[in-house]
A and B are shown apart, each in its own frame.
Chain A
Amino acid sequence: MRRALAALALGAMCACSGESSSPAGVDVPGRPGATKSSATVRAQRRLFDGAPPTVPHPPLGGSCTQCHNARGMDVPGLGFAPPSPHEDTPGMSALSRCNQCHVHVLDTAEFVANGFAGVRQDLRKGERLYDGAPPVMPHSRSMRENCAACHDGPAAREEVRCTHPERTRCDQCHVPSVDDSLFTRP
C-alpha cells in the first residue's frame, strides 16, 4: 500500500516536472528512457564524480535493502531497483546504513548558491590496448566491489552493460588503473 502510494507520488512528481532536469524530477533507473543519456543524469545526482549519489526516488519507508537486495528487484510501477555495489565492501560494512551516505532530495531550493565545480566523470577513461581488448577499469574498486550492480541487469545503462555477465570473475580480464604514471627503469 505504502509503496503504491509512493509510486503514485513519484508519477505525479515526474508528470509535474515533465522533461525538467530538476533533481526531484530525474528519471528513475529501469524506467523507459533511463538507460539513455545517463551520464548527465548520473552527474545530476552527484556533487562530483566519486560523491555518493542522492536517492532518485522519494522516501518509500521500509529498508532500502528490501528492494536493493543482492539481486535487485523489479518494483511494479517504479522500475528496477539495482543491487548495491557495496555488497562485498570489505573492512567496514556500510550496507545497512544506506542513509549515512545517500540522502533524499526533499526540497529543490538552495539555502545559498554554491560555486563548487567538482571533478566530472571522465568518459574518455576505460581505455583498451586495441579494439577488442578488455577495457581497463576507469574507476577505483573501493566501495564498488559488486561489478554487477552497475554493469548487469535491467538498470545497467546501455553503454556500460556487460556482454558476458555469466563470467563472474571480472578482474580476471579487467584491471583497475590505480596510477597514471608510466614505467621507467630505476
Chain B
Amino acid sequence: MTHFDRRTLFRALGAGAGVVAFSEADRAQAAALEAAAGPAPTGMKWDKAPCRFCGTGCGVEVATDGGKVVAVRGDEKSPVNKGLLCVKGYHLPALLYGADRLQYPQLRQPDGSLQRISWDDALDLIARKYREALDAKGPDSVAMYGSGQWTVFDGYAALKWVKGGLRSNHLDPNARLCMASAVTGFMSQFQSDEPMGCYEDLELADDVVLWGANMAEMHPVLFSRILESKRRRPTVRLIDIATRRTPSSEYADLYVEFRPGSDLALANGILHLLVKQGKVAQAFIDKNCVFKRGEEDLAKIGYGCSGEQAERYTFNDTPKDSSFEEFKSFLEEYTPQRVSELSGVSVAHLELLASIYGDNKRKTLSLWCMGVNQHVRGTWMNNLITDLHLVTGKIARPGNNPFSLTGQPSACGTVREVGTLSNRLPADMVVTNPEHRAKAEKLWKLPEGTIPEKPGHHAVDMFRAFQRGDITCLWVQTTNPWVSLPNLHRYERKPGDGKFLIVSDVYPTPTTDRADLILPSALWVEREGVFGNSERRTQQWNKLVEPPGEAREDAWQIVEVARRMGLGQLFPWEGDWHEAMFEEYRSFTLGVGKDLASYAQLKSTRGLLWPVVDGKETRYRYAGGHDPYVAAGRDVHFYKAKGYGERAAIWLRPHHPPAEVPDAEYPLWLCTGRVLEHWHTGSMTRRVRQLHQAVPRAYVELNRADALELGVKSGDRVRLESRRGAIELEARVDGRGQPPRGSVFVPFFDESKLINELTLDAMDNISKEPDYKKCAVRVKLAEQRT
C-alpha cells in the first residue's frame, strides 16, 4: 500500500463520524466482501502503457496494488482511443495471471518430459548450440523467428545479434505473415515504409473505404471513431468492399461484395473509369509521380507453393519505367463489363466507386489490413489502392490518404522500423545495399563486411529450411508458428530430431510443445518497453510489476546469449541498458525522415508520431505545412523516393487469379481470420475467462443456401476438408459473419481446431506473405446437433 493518507484511513475505518457509505445494505455487503477477500484496494497507483494487443495502440492506464495489476481503464489522454477500449483491452489485467504461466527455463529430456534448469545453464546451452551450428555449417544453419509483439528493445537486440553477431540474415518475424505486403507496397511506391496519414484521417475523411477489413471486430476502437464521425456528420459514408458480410458491413452505406482474389481487377476497373472519365489529377501526377511496372508473367512468377517454389520461393521483381500513356493502354482491358464478370461487382457499383474516388470535393480514406496483405498478389493490391489516391491526388493531405492497418502492437515499431525482416536494417535500410550495410556496421562499430549481402529466409522458407534440416538451430520468441503457419502439416516435428528449437513465451502453446528448450518471458508491464503503432506513434511504458517466477524479458535473453558467445561488444552497456539501447537505435533514424523522439520525451508523453524533429511530431508525412522535411513552398513532396527523383511511383499491376480455386472436388472457398474476442492464436486471450467463454471454440460459418443444400443446420458438427488436411467444426449459419454463397469462414485462434492444417502456403510474389484468405475446401455433415 503506497498511498495511505488521512482520508484513506477514515475509509478503512468504515463509517467514521462524518463518513457515511451510501446505504446500510452496502455497508453490510462491504463487510461481507472484506471478510471474504480482505479490504478493497486503496493504494492503487495508475501508470500509462499501450495495450498489448492489436496495432491500433490504444493507451491504457494500468492500476497496480501490492505488486499486482488490479485494473485498467482507457486512457483519456491518449489521442488514439480517448478513453475507450474494446473487450480485449478491458480484460488485459487477467493476461498476466493464467494458472499455467511459464515461470522457469525447461529443457526437454530424451523421454519427452520437461526438466527445470537454471537460466545460467539455459543461456550457456543456447550459446553452445548456436556456436556448434555456426562452426559445423556456417551462418546459413542458424535462424531466429521473432514477432510484431516484440518490443523495440527485443527486436533491436535480435537484429544486432543475428545480423551483426551471427553474421546471418536468417532473422524474420511473424509479421511476415501479417503486413509484409504493406511494407513492400509502401517501399515500392515511396521508397519509405509506413503510411503518410494518421488516425485523425478517420474523422476528416468524407468517404471511408474498407478494402477487405472487418474493422468492427479487428480494430474496434478505430471503427468507433468512424461511427462517431458518421454520427456527427451524416454526410460521411462508409464503404465496405469485402468477400464476406461482417459486423462492419452492418454500418456501411455501401457494401460491395467481390469474388475472392478479384480485387485486383476491381481496383484496375476503378482506375480505368477514372482515366476514361477524365477524373485524374493531371497536374498532380505530372509534378509528383512516375510510372513503373514489373514482371507480369504468371508462369515466371508462380505462387511459391508448387514445384521447386514449394521448397524455396525467391522470386525477385524486375521494375522498369513506364508512362502515363502506357498506363492508359494497360487499363484498356479493364472495362466495366469485363471487371464485372471477373469480380461479380455490378457495373453500377463500379461506377459508384469510381465516382467516390474521383470526387475531388470529398476526402477519401482507404483502409486495409489482412484481406489485402494476406494475398498472393498483396503487394500489387497495396500498389493499386495507393494508385487510386495518387492518380486522384488524394494523398498526403489530412483526410485524404491510403492507410494500412496493422494487427500486432509493434508490427510497425519493431518489425518495420527496426527492420527485423530478413532483408532489412533499421530506418528503411536493406542488406542488399552496400551503403546501408556500411552505415549499420559503422554505427555498430563492426568491421566492414560483417553483415551479409544476401537476404535471409522469409518466414515460410525459414520453417521449410528447418524442416529440411538446412537450419539446425532456431530460436522462436513471442509467437506461435505451430498454430499460425499455413499448411501446418508440413512442419510436424518431435523434439530430439537432431535440430535444436528454443521457444520463449509466456504460456504453453503447440509451439512450446515442439521445443527442445522453453524459456519463460516477461509479459507486457512486467518489463519496460516501447511499441510503435499503425499511425507511426512510438509509445513507451515502464515496468510496473515483477514477472512471475524467473520469467525475463526477451531482449535480456538475447543480450545474455550474445555475451556468452563472446559477442558482448554488441551490447556494451552496464546495468539498465534500456535508454542507452534505444538511443543507439534512434541514431539510425535521425536526419533521414524517420526521426524518433528521445527516450526522455517518450517517457513523458502519450507517444509521438515520427518523424519527430525539434521535439515536434508529424501527423502528415510528405505534406507541406506538416512535415519538416518537405521542401519550402511544396504542397506535397515525396522526398524519400530518391530513386524516383523524389516522386511517388504509380504501378501498373494486372489481375492474376488466386493460387487455388474451388472446383468440383473442393467446391468452396475457405477464408480464415480473427474474431473480436480472441487475439491471433489465442494463447493469451483464451486464458481470460470472459473472453474464452464468449467464444469458447472455433466454428465454421456457412452460407444459408449452402447449408440447406448440404443438409447442415447451425450447431451441427461438420467435417471440413482441403487437399492438405481435415478438421471437424461446429457449423454456424447466419452468425456474426455471413459468407456469400460458395464460401466458408473459420477463425484461427483455436489450438485444438487448427484451420491452418487446411490452408495453402501460397505467397505474395514480392512480400512472401502467405495467403490465408483463399483456398478450396469441401464440407460434409459429420454429426447432427442433438
Contact = CB atoms under 8 A, between A and B. Distances in A.
Interface of A: 23, 37, 39-40, 43, 47-52, 54, 91-97, 99-131, 135, 138, 140, 142-143, 158-160, 180-182
B14 interface: yes
Interface string B567-578: 000000000000
Contacts of A106: 693-696
Contact of B93 (A91, A104, A118): A118
B687 A124 contact: no
Interface in B82-119: 82-87, 90-91, 93-94, 96-100
B687 A103 contact: no
A47 B6 CA distance: 30
Given A92-B228, A120-B33, A121-B40, A101 B94 contact: no
A115 B70 contact: no
B29 A47 contact: no
A23 B694 CA distance: 11
Nearest to B251: A96
A97 B29 contact: no
A50 B73 contact: yes
B26 interface: yes
B93 A120 contact: no
Contact of A100 (B8, B23, B87, B94): B87
A112 B220 contact: no
Contacts of A182: 5-7
Nearest to A126: B22
Contacts of B464: none
Contact of A123 (B26, B97, B98): B26
A111 B692 contact: yes
B315 interface: no
Contacts of B22: 123, 126, 135, 138, 159-160
A131 B87 CA distance: 39
Contact of B694 (A103, A110, A113, A126): A103
B18 interface: yes
Contacts of A91: 82-84, 228
B76 A142 contact: yes
B96 A105 contact: no
B231 interface: yes
Contacts of A43: 33
A116 B83 contact: no
A120 B40 contact: yes
A106 B677 CA distance: 13
Contacts of A122: 11, 30, 40, 42
Nearest to B697: A107
Contacts of B27: 123-124
A interface secondary structure, majority: loop
B377 interface: no
Nearest to B735: A59
B216 interface: yes
Interface residues of B, number: 76
A101 B85 contact: yes
Contacts of B220: 97, 100
B44 interface: yes
Contacts of A48: 70-71, 93
Nearest to A23: B693
Contact of B227 (A93, A110, A123): A93
B30 A97 contact: no
A39 B8 contact: no
B94 A123 contact: no
B720 interface: no
A49 B97 CA distance: 17
A37 B71 contact: no
Contacts of A107: 692-693, 696-697
A52 B658 CA distance: 42
A100 B687 contact: no
Contacts of B44: 119
A101 B220 CA distance: 9
B91 A96 contact: no
A49 B25 CA distance: 19
B542 interface: no
B20 A47 contact: no
A181 to B, nearest CB: 7
Interface string B444-480: 0000000000000000000000000000000000000
A43 B73 CA distance: 17
B70 A101 contact: no
A114 to B, nearest CB: 5
A123 B676 contact: no
B84 A92 contact: yes
B224 A120 contact: no
B300 interface: no
A161 B251 CA distance: 36
B362 interface: no
A97 B87 contact: no
A116 B96 CA distance: 8
Contact of A116 (B97, B221, B686, B694): B97
B691 interface: yes
A101 B5 contact: no
A113 B99 CA distance: 5
8 contacts: A23-B693, A47-B94, A50-B73, A51-B91, A51-B690, A92-B221, A118-B94, A126-B21
Contacts of A120: 33, 37, 40-41
Contact of A97 (B20, B73, B97, B223): B223
Contacts of B96: 116
Given A92-B228, A180-B8, A54 B18 contact: no
Given A37-B29, A94-B224, A115 B687 contact: no
B68 interface: yes
Nearest to B97: A116
Contacts of B98: 112-115
Given A37-B29, A115-B97, A120-B40, 16 more contacts: A51-B71, A51-B91, A54-B694, A94-B224, A96-B251, A101-B86, A103-B676, A111-B686, A112-B98, A113-B98, A120-B33, A120-B41, A123-B29, A130-B18, A131-B20, A142-B76
Nearest to B70: A119
Nearest to B71: A119
Given A50-B71, A114-B99, A159-B26, A100 B694 contact: no
Interface string B1-45: 001011110010010001111110111011001000100111010
